[in-house]
Structure 1
Amino acid sequence: MGHSVVLLVVALATLPAWGTGAPVQRQHKLLFVSFDGFRWDYDQDVDTPNLDTMAREGVKARYMTPAFVTMTSPCHFTLVTGKYIENHGVVHNMYYNTTSKVKLPYHATLGIQRWWDNGSTPIWITAQRQGLKTGSFFYPGGNVTYQGEAVTMSRKEGIFHNYKDEKEWRGNVDTVMKWFTEEDAALVTLYFGEPDSTGHKYGPASQERRDMVKQVDRTVGYLRDSIERHHLTDSLNLIVTSDHGMTTVNKAASDLVEFHKFPNFTFKDIEFELLDYGPSGLLIPKEGMMEKVYSALKDAHPRLHVYKKEDFPETFHYANNPRITSLLMYSDLGYVIHGRINVQFNNGEHGFDNRAMDMKTIFRAVGPSFKAGLEVEPFESIHVYELMCKLLGIVPEPNDGHPGTLQPLLRSGSAALLLGSQFHLILALMGILTILMKVT
């Protein structure tokens, strides 16, 4: 038995070192790009030659299902952790504290370290701990520290940032190319705030949204041209995706969801509230008022779905987190929740049930590791993290995705597949070694 242990130790020693600061041999870099609020079908009423070319030369998903709740920060953090929102803890775009009653807007929350660093390690930090350099350009969660460690290179958007400036978009792409070529970054996440901003203001059916999709497509073309100009075509994988979709708000409906008009409900019974943020809501009733508040709300409106935390549908993978309040709710597609007064005036909105088609989003990928001309069936966004780890040749953190779900996207014999096979072989050998050591 001792001889067998020695042989296994030798076998492990001959394989690449994982998680020791020295990565396995890596041939390819990865650029991960998110265009916020790009609904899965936005390319169907607009001419998008660059996205179409990317699909012909790479991989396209029919659509991707985001995590619930379909908000920007939670969904973006799912992509870089592979975890459902209840498991990574970034449960809202806004930082809130139910004790102090502090609530901070989206841009301020981007810089609140304790909101993001709450037990999960995003892919930037995991990659750095395995010897790679990483970068985050405007990507949510990329500008704070995790267990005291910052992303190698990062940029944070300002509160008055102009999301629509196409000239700036190209400058951002140029900076990212320098990170790859001059700083030897292995992974960069690049975020654009469109077409989300335009979809909110004008609605997903507007000409303004269609024009913005054309700008997105031109930027994809500029990205791919830049990759070629910097001689990265054979060494860089490109993924273009998004966080969620967008739907039209029924602003003129006769049955708006308005808390201030609900009979038998009063805000005097509420200790903490987070309403007026799209179609979701969080409430804490005052002590002894839970049953009264719940009874007043559960059937208050046919388009509002109100749950006690413990009864929220498990399929959403959302409520099982300490940050979620004792009462939570969401409204039907197209209906936002109005609290004390009506203050929401967007023509487009997201945050709805992730099963709704209007909440689905895009996924495109091209590069040396990906097959060409492949269209795949829809998948959940939790699986993208495992794919990225495989492309980079790094050992993933525990997550909710499955390493085999997106493996069919990759070329057979690619470095990513070989690295994945080595990883699973290592796990198997380590398991056998543990058993033999217990026996001896």
Structure 2
Amino acid sequence: MELELFLVVAAVLCAAGKPLSKAAARNKLLLISFDGFRWDYDQDVDTPNLDQLAVDGVKAKYITPPMLTMTSPSHFTTITGRWVEDHEVVHNMMFNTSTNQKVPHKLTMSRSEWWGNGVLPLWITAQNQGLKTASFHYPGGGVKYRGQTVNRALLEELNHPDDNETEWRQNIDTVMSWFSEEDFDLVTLYYGEPDNVGHAKGPDHPDRKKIIQQIDRTLGYLREAISLHHLNDSLNVIITSDHGMTTIKKRPQVDEIILREYLNLIKLASFEILDYGGFGILTPRPGKEQEVFDALSNAPNLTVYKKNEMPENFHLGKSKRLPPIVVVADLGFNLNSRFIVYVNKGDHGFHNGEMDMKTIFRAFGPDFKKNLLSEPFDSIHIYPLMCKLLQIEPAPHNGSLTVTENMLSGGSHRARLSVALLLSMLLLMFSLL
């Protein structure tokens, strides 16, 4: 009897000494983005579920989006880990400086030629290593990359209502079923709020506070759905955003920046997008670059850059797609090229160093530490963190795992559970000796 127990104990000890296989230890990952969720939006609203997430997981003080603080460029930096000058999604609008083509933001979501510039997003990199991925309305999820598509991609329809709370919950139910019933490994889920409310009403309006409470209720529903689908021990969740929001300064408090007063656009420019929040781009006519630069330098409340002379930390200067002249307005001053009636009460696109452009980060699940407050970091570092969680080799990227690895608990819940089970077995066996 003692010999048999000894042999069993030895076998258990050997098993305990062997590392778990990657497949056994890998957990699933859900990335959720709430468009335009400024870093401090939860500080003037009662948000019990967001507060609980900080206790049950990781909260960053804030994260810094890339320069550009726009939806498509920022989301693509998160999902690729590349600076905008590398992935080349340099605006919300798809454009062609030669033909003067301009395609509105939502219509770009099915245009592979805008997104597929050689850089592979996480969906494709994960699929190439045997994982199953999906995109639910996430920017860039519905196109081809080197001929490959995301395993499952749902595109947001034009004029889609972004604030329907019932639909938000239905989307969560759908995503949970993908994980629990169809064994997806990675899903990215996008919500268009609080961006729309921030634009229409401004970040200080009571309706912005209401939509934050709606988001908080939705996150409470998410926690319930995770439990209902028995995913507590196998699903990691990262919640973030693409940019912040600031109040637009308007007359009579300030004078609007009307660029036609400083620049003859017809005479000096062959292409321009100068009526899009705080960020503008312009292609001068041949031989007119210095004249355009000098003219815009006389305009108040903005900074004009030649692309090849932009600060290196913008990570925009090497872009082949970006036009030669870039204009960034001072915080809160919208660009107006001619005299277009500007209706937005809030906007973004401003310098990513401004606190109003900073965004949120929350993370929880079996691989994350609990009750950890992280120092601020750049959103580009989320990509290597996601690759680590999915146990895949990342594609070339500009982020660093050293920035975020302190968030991780050091071992998967399954691994810890297995060790605990082995110890329990050992104690039981020794009690029988």
TM-score for both structures, normalised by structure 2: 0.89
Residue 72 of structure 1 is matched in structure 2 by 71
Letter in 1 for 2:379: S
8 A Cα contact 2:165 2:214, kept in partner: yes
Q: 1:15-34 residue pairs with structure 2 within 5 A?
A: 24-34=23-33
Residue 348 of structure 1 is matched in structure 2 by 346
8 A Cα contact 2:20 2:415, kept in partner: no
Cα distance in 2 for partners of 1:129, 1:266 equals 47
Residue 293 of structure 2 is matched in structure 1 by 294
Task: Report the alpha carbon displacement of residue 360 of structure 1 after superposing the two structures with TM.
Answer: 0.5
Letter in 1 for 2:361: F
Letter in 2 for 1:149: Q
Cα distance in 1 for partners of 2:166, 2:317 equals 41
Cα distance in 2 for partners of 1:295, 1:16 equals 63
Cα distance in 2 for partners of 1:417, 1:343 equals 59
Task: Report the alpha carbon displacement of residue 312 of structure 1 after superposing the two structures with TM.
Answer: 1.1
8 A Cα contact 2:307 2:316, kept in partner: no
Residue 256 of structure 1 is matched in structure 2 by 256
8 A Cα contact 1:309 1:328, kept in partner: yes
Residue 309 (structure 1) aligned with residue 312 (structure 2): no
Residue 423 of structure 1 is matched in structure 2 by none
Cα distance in 1 for partners of 2:388, 2:413 equals 9
Residue 5 of structure 2 is matched in structure 1 by none
Residue deviations 1:167-210 (CA, integer Å, cap 9, x gap): 11111111101111121100000000000000100000000000
Task: Report the alpha carbon displacement of residue 356 of structure 1 after superposing the two structures with TM.
Answer: 0.4
Task: Report the alpha carbon displacement of residue 24 of structure 1 after superposing the two structures with TM.
Answer: 5.0
Q: CA RMSD in A?
A: 1.9
Task: Report the alpha carbon displacement of residue 414 of structure 1 after superposing the two structures with TM.
Answer: 3.6
Task: Report the alpha carbon displacement of residue 365 of structure 1 after superposing the two structures with TM.
Answer: 0.5
Residue 196 (structure 1) aligned with residue 195 (structure 2): yes
Residue deviations 1:130-150 (CA, integer Å, cap 9, x gap): 000001000000000111111
Give secondary structure in 2 for the equivalent of 1:110: helix
Cα distance in 2 for partners of 1:167, 1:31 equals 20
Letter in 2 for 1:174: D
Q: Taking structure 1 as reference, are residues 394 and 15 closer, same or farther at Cα in structure 2, changes over 3 Å only?
A: farther
Q: Taking structure 1 as reference, are residues 104 and 195 closer, same or farther at Cα in structure 2, changes over 3 Å only?
A: same
8 A Cα contact 1:63 1:377, kept in partner: yes
Task: Report the alpha carbon displacement of residue 340 of structure 1 after superposing the two structures with TM.
Answer: 1.7
Cα distance in 2 for partners of 1:221, 1:254 equals 42
Task: Name the stretch that deviates more: 384-393 or 83-92.
Answer: 83-92
Identity between Structure 1 and Structure 2 (%): 51
Q: Taking structure 1 as reference, are residues 15 and 118 closer, same or farther at Cα in structure 2, changes over 3 Å only?
A: farther
Task: Report the alpha carbon displacement of residue 26 of structure 1 after superposing the two structures with TM.
Answer: 4.1
Task: Report the alpha carbon displacement of residue 247 of structure 1 after superposing the two structures with TM.
Answer: 0.4
* Aligned with 2:316 (options 318, 326, 331): 318
Residue 46 of structure 1 is matched in structure 2 by 45
Task: Report the alpha carbon displacement of residue 118 of structure 1 after superposing the two structures with TM.
Answer: 0.1
Q: 1:75-154 residue pairs with structure 2 within 5 A?
A: 75-154=74-153
Give secondary structure in 1 for the equivalent of 2:230: coil
Give secondary structure in 2 for the equivalent of 1:404: helix
Cα distance in 1 for partners of 2:112, 2:43 equals 39
8 A Cα contact 1:138 1:155, kept in partner: yes
8 A Cα contact 2:243 2:348, kept in partner: yes
Letter in 1 for 2:201: Y
Task: Report the alpha carbon displacement of residue 25 of structure 1 after superposing the two structures with TM.
Answer: 4.5
Task: Report the alpha carbon displacement of residue 15 of structure 1 after superposing the two structures with TM.
Answer: 11
Cα distance in 1 for partners of 2:74, 2:414 equals 25
Residue deviations 1:309-351 (CA, integer Å, cap 9, x gap): 1111111112311011111111000011001222321001011
Letter in 1 for 2:324: S
Q: Taking structure 1 as reference, are residues 341 and 183 closer, same or farther at Cα in structure 2, changes over 3 Å only?
A: same
Which structure is larger by alpha-carbon Rg, 1 or 2? 2
Cα distance in 2 for partners of 1:366, 1:86 equals 31
Q: 1:156-305 residue pairs with structure 2 within 5 A?
A: 156-252=155-251, 253-262=253-262, 265-301=264-300, 303-305=301-303
Report how many residues are paired.
398
* Structure 1 spans left out of the alignment, 5+ residues: 1-13, 18-22, 419-440
Residue 432 of structure 1 is matched in structure 2 by none
Letter in 1 for 2:106: H
Give secondary structure in 1 for the equivalent of 2:33: strand
Cα distance in 1 for partners of 2:413, 2:403 equals 17
Task: Report the alpha carbon displacement of residue 415 of structure 1 after superposing the two structures with TM.
Answer: 7.8
Letter in 1 for 2:255: D
